[in-house]
A and B are shown apart, each in its own frame.
Chain A
Amino acid sequence: MISMNKVSKNYGSFQVLADCTTEVHKGEVIVVCGPSGSGKSTLIKCVNGLEPFQSGEIVVNGVSVGDPKTNLSKLRSTVGMVFQNFELFPHMSIIDNLAIAQIKVLGRSQDQAREKGSKLLERVGLAVQAEKYPGQLSGGQQQRVAIARALAMDPICMLFDEPTSALDPEMVNEVLDVMTELAQEGMTMMCVTHEMGFAKRVASRVIFMDQGRIVEDDSKDAFFEHPRSERAQQFLAKILHH
């Protein structure tokens, strides 16, 4: 569903991504982890073209992301994305946040869009908040709304960019629960996250990045039990021992 072939990107002389190659099949849940500055967020943002890249190729559902002829907006409307800082639209009510792109991008009617939105809000347990504004919700609630907003577009896959990093600790689980449920329903997902518990529960594969390179790309059991690279061993030792 998503295939990357030797993707490289640099800011001036600084190499952010170097020859990243991987494949995500339908229904797989890929967790991308690594130390900060390793390029994992950049990698995931390249998938829907939010970050341009200089060389290599990314193909999403048969469409080449880097091809200048590709209609990026159209491609993006089929790929859901959830951001670290939620990025709900603060000037719209929650239900309008869910409806706006359905109406303007997919051409659904106001009623259809709101109905779909309400259903998804119910699914993430926030149906009563529909008429409120993002600023009135907690971080965890906002992130669940953001997930619902992405799902409202009926995406073929979902990208998560550190979805729990900006949350207070007690709100992390409510978001992970929604993501776990989604994974169990068979959604294809690529998640940049430090939540190794989540990775152990639902990941099909784990990608470990360091200095812009994909250092490990393995099944989760292999990754957690026998990480091959020294860098991944160090990383896991640091992150699992507290």
Chain B
Amino acid sequence: MHEFDWSSIPNSLPFLWDGMKISLQITVSAVIFGIVWGTLLALMRMSPIAPLSWFAAGYVNLFRAIPLVMVLLWFFLIVPHLLESIFGFPRGSDMRLGSAMAGFALFEAAYYSEIIRAGIQSVPKGQMGAASALGMTYGQAMRLVVLPQAFRNMVPLLLTQGIILFQDTSLVYVSALADFFGAAYKVGDRDGRLVELLLFAGAVYFVICFTASRIVRYYQHKLKTA
């Protein structure tokens, strides 16, 4: 029977916290950028201008048909070299965090755009008609009338996607970037306490994600009764 020994956790908390900060950084930046870029993709996809619509459809289908791990690896392996040659960054500078953020953001935008497209389509067509009849341009009607309603309906789905994204950040271990999971793994490996550290990390992920999804549910409930 394995004897549990949790003693290596308290001392490594600061290191683990640094890892958590990286996980959160990737999550937050990918959520924000993903929603912004995802909104643009959704608008392009619904646009009557065929090339824009094709581009958006192609982008979304491409990213949704490729495993996230692979996208991350491409970004780790290719993008840093690209940036080095374009912007003249010193060779070997650490761009793992940057490329992780970019990879996640571009990948998640594909998913967000589909959520946002569904949200826009859930707003009755007459709303666009009424806004247009008042003399608003397409852009004004979208920005002032349709999108605010769409986002209000979408908040639970967007947050849920954010929670999944937070879990998925653990995939950056492929680049040996010390996110929370990576940090826990490193400590466990160093002290020979891998099982304990991974259980601990799992518990932390669970508490955060479970709490967050409860908050989403509470919000959903409030939205329904409002």
Contacts and interface: CB of A to CB of B under 8 A. Distances in A.
B132 A76 contact: yes
A222 interface: no
B145 A85 contact: no
B149 interface: yes
A73 B135 CA distance: 4
A105 B134 contact: yes
A11 B150 CA distance: 29
Contacts of B135: 73-74, 76-78, 101, 105-106, 153
A101 B134 contact: yes
Contacts of B149: 89-91
A105 B136 contact: yes
Contacts of A76: 132-135
Interface string A65-95: 0000000011011111101010111110000
B136 A87 contact: no
A161 to B, nearest CB: 10
A48 interface: yes
B67 interface: no
B136 to A, nearest CB: 6
Interface in B119-168: 124, 126-127, 129-137, 140, 144-145, 148-149, 152
Nearest to B127: A87
A106 B97 CA distance: 47
A33 interface: no
Given A73-B135, A153-B135, A87 B140 contact: no
Residue picked from A80, A83, A87, most chain B C-beta under 10 Å: A87
A87 B132 contact: no
Q: Say what secondary structure dominates the interface of chain A.
A: loop
B129 to A, nearest CB: 6
Interface residues of B, number: 18
A149 interface: yes
A189 interface: no
Contacts of B130: 81, 83, 87-89
B129 A73 contact: no
Interface string A46-76: 0010100000000000000000000001101
A83 B144 contact: no
A106 B135 CA distance: 9
Contacts of A73: 132, 135-137
Contacts of A79: 133
Bin chain A's interface residue count.
20 to 34
Interface in A97-111: 100-101, 104-106
Contacts of A77: 134-135
Nearest to A146: B130
Contact of A91 (B124, B131, B134, B152): B152
B211 to A, nearest CB: 28
B144 A87 contact: no
Interface string B94-138: 000000000000000000000000000000101101111111110
A153 B152 contact: no
A176 B140 CA distance: 31
A209 B131 CA distance: 28
Nearest to A76: B135
A77 B136 CA distance: 8
Contacts of A104: 136, 140, 144
Contacts of B129: 50, 83, 87
A83 B129 CA distance: 9
27 contacts: A50-B133, A73-B135, A73-B137, A76-B132, A76-B134, A78-B135, A79-B133, A81-B130, A81-B133, A85-B124, A87-B124, A87-B127, A87-B129, A87-B130, A89-B130, A89-B145, A89-B149, A90-B149, A100-B144, A101-B134, A104-B136, A105-B135, A105-B136, A105-B140, A106-B135, A153-B134, A153-B135
Interface of A: 48, 50, 73-74, 76-81, 83, 85, 87-91, 100-101, 104-106, 149-150, 153
Given A76-B132, A87-B126, A89-B130, 5 more contacts: A80-B133, A87-B130, A91-B148, A104-B136, A105-B140
Q: Which 6 A-B pairs have the closest CB atoms?
A: A77-B135, A87-B130, A101-B134, A81-B133, A105-B135, A87-B126
